[in-house]
């Protein structure tokens, strides 16, 4: 969905926000998932009007770009550190079993 296809409303309800994320960014995120994120954290920020969550386009765009991460040219490209340093070898410090 390009900018010219955006609805003229400045905010989207959950179901429309999920559809927007799917159509514009290819992110499979249901309205139920957005609801879960709203209660547990980790999702896009939103306005609450009475019991309705309203998601601004700018926040959906920001969150989607952050979720997608950097472009990678190779499957072994690492964006979150080296996998070998993510795990410590604790076998040497483990107590011996007798």
pLDDT digits (tens, 9 = 90+) for 1-33: 555 565 567 899 999 999 999 999 999 999 999
Contact assessment for residue 63 and residue 43, using Cβ atoms and an 8 Å cutoff: yes
pLDDT digits (tens, 9 = 90+) for 29-54: 999 999 999 999 999 999 999 999 99
User: What is the model's pLDDT at position 71?
Assistant: 87
User: Helices 57-68 and 14-25: crossing angle, nearest 10°?
Assistant: 50
């Amino acid at each position: 969905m390009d900018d010219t296809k955006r609805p003229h409303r400045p905010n989207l309800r959950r179901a429309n926000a999920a559809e927007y994320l799917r159509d514009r960014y290819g992110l499979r995120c249901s309205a139920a998932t957005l609801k879960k994120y709203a209660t547990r954290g980790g999702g896009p920020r939103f306005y609450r009007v009475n019991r309705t969550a309203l998601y601004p386009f700018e926040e959906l765009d920001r969150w989607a770009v952050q979720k997608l991460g950097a472009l990678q040219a190779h499957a072994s490209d690492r964006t979150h550190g080296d996998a070998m340093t993510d795990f410590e070898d604790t076998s040497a410090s483990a107590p011996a079993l007798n």
